[in-house]
Amino acid sequence: MQTINTIGIIGAGAMGSGIAQACAASGLQVILQDVQPAALERALKTVGGSLDRLVKKATLDEAGKAAILQRIQTSSEPTAVAKADLVIEAATENEALKIKILQAIEPALAPETIIATNTSSISITRLAAATQRPDRFVGLHFFNPVPVMALVEIISGLKTSQATQDAVTELARALGKTPIGVKNSAGFVVNRILCPMINEAIFALQEGLASAEEIDAGMKLGCNHPIGPLALCDLIGLDVELAVMEVLYESFNDSKYRPAPLLKEMVAAGMLGRKTRRGFYSY
Ligand code: 3HC
């Protein structure tokens, strides 16, 4: 099986930085790339803060923290990921942008390098078709916050080879995650179920059925969810929730997936959740 020692990650947002932390904590070398140097700085701060929680709990010491951070190299050069054994694209949830990034970096990669995408919902088969290596292209979907969440969805496109699926499944296990294999379909499994539930909570809020706090309390206390759907939407990002709902709506042509107008309004107003400090709650 293909050995993976160095991971290139494109995009230093919440998901990219979380994936970088999980990989570095497992002893892998990481090259974290983002065109915005400020995003790289923020990502290193986030990883540092997340590791500090572990130091506080005495599950990690300062030397361990320093070693993890040392394994994360950052760069704003798109081709910085060229020597990686596996490249994980974790850019904004926008198909045209993802294709542009994939086509820009692919010529710099070795022919055997696997490309994975952390897309939340976009077709793996379609993204793979934009590359010259659809057999070595796969969906590797992590969950937020990456260091805490145990699941990784491994999504195979129509041409993804078994060897590619095996290599990334092995990687997910090496990161201490539980992989599930999923066929390519809009939203895969988890977001196909989760995002419509969150969208329905936004409809309930918009219709004035209850306050945000009451809706969230309902799902926490009534269904034992760790946080309510509106607080979860703030964590995921309202822009990501909207992007997933739009993909589901367009892919299935079914009105049950129409994004709640309130969600669209809030995204238009720049209220994206925790990352902008304003969403259904203030931070
Ligand atoms: N890094 C490291 N550890 C973290 C962390 C981080 N960023 N965030 C939380 N933790 C740890 C805490 O240290 C704590 O550990 P302990 O139990 O060992 O002390 C534990 O997680 C719980 O944290 P807190 O007590 O601070 O807060 P909560 O009890 O509210 O838990 C949570 C936080 C784990 C995020 C919890 O609220 C939760 O599970 N929420 C649901 C998350 C979820 O559903 N994510 C999936 C989103 S969907 C997605 O990502 C897909 C995408 O495509 C849209």
Could you tell me which residues come within 8 angstroms of residue 74 by beta carbon, excluding any fewer than 6 positions away? 12, 31, 32, 33, 34, 40, 43, 44
What residues are labeled active site?
120, 141, 153, 191
For 5-46, how does the pLDDT look when each residue is reduced to its tens digit (9 = 90+)?
999 999 999 999 999 999 999 999 999 999 999 999 999 999
**Average pLDDT of the segment spanning 124-138:** 98
For 107, the 3-state DSSP assignment is helix
Q: What is the CA radius of gyration of the chain?
A: 19
Is the CB of 120 inside a 6 Å radius of any atom of ligand 1? yes
For 180-232, how does the pLDDT look when each residue is reduced to its tens digit (9 = 90+)?
999 999 999 999 999 999 999 999 999 999 999 999 999 999 999 999 999 99
CA-144 nearest atom, ligand 1: 50
Would you place residue 110 in the very low, low, confident or very high pLDDT band (cuts 50, 70, 90)?
A: very high
Are β-strands 86-89 and 6-10 bridged in parallel, bridged antiparallel, or unpaired?
parallel
> Pick from 177, 178, 131, 179: which is nearest to 157 by CA?
131
Distance CA 255, CA 260 (A): 11
Cα–ligand 1 centroid distance for 227 (angstroms): 9
Torsion of CA 149, 55, 75, 115, to 10 degrees: -30
Backbone angles phi, psi at 198, to 5 degrees: -65, -45
> What pLDDT sits at residue 87?
98
> What pLDDT sits at residue 3?
80
Is the CB of 197 inside a 6 Å radius of any atom of ligand 1? no
Distance CA 185, CA 195 (A): 14
Identify the residue whose C-alpha is closest to ligand 1 atom 53.
Answer: 120
Distance CA 222, CA 119 (A): 31
What tokens does 18 get?
Answer: 């979380």
Is the CB of 50 inside a 6 Å radius of any atom of ligand 1? yes
Is the CB of 227 inside a 6 Å radius of any atom of ligand 1? yes
pLDDT for residue 57 is more than 80: yes
Is the CB of 232 inside a 6 Å radius of any atom of ligand 1? yes
Distance CA 244, CA 197 (A): 12
Cα–ligand 1 centroid distance for 139 (angstroms): 23
Task: For a ligand 1 pocket test, name from 42, 47, 53 the mutation site with the most ligand atoms within 8 angstroms of its C-beta.
Answer: 53
What tokens does 67 get?
Answer: 């070693």
Distance CA 60, CA 37 (A): 28
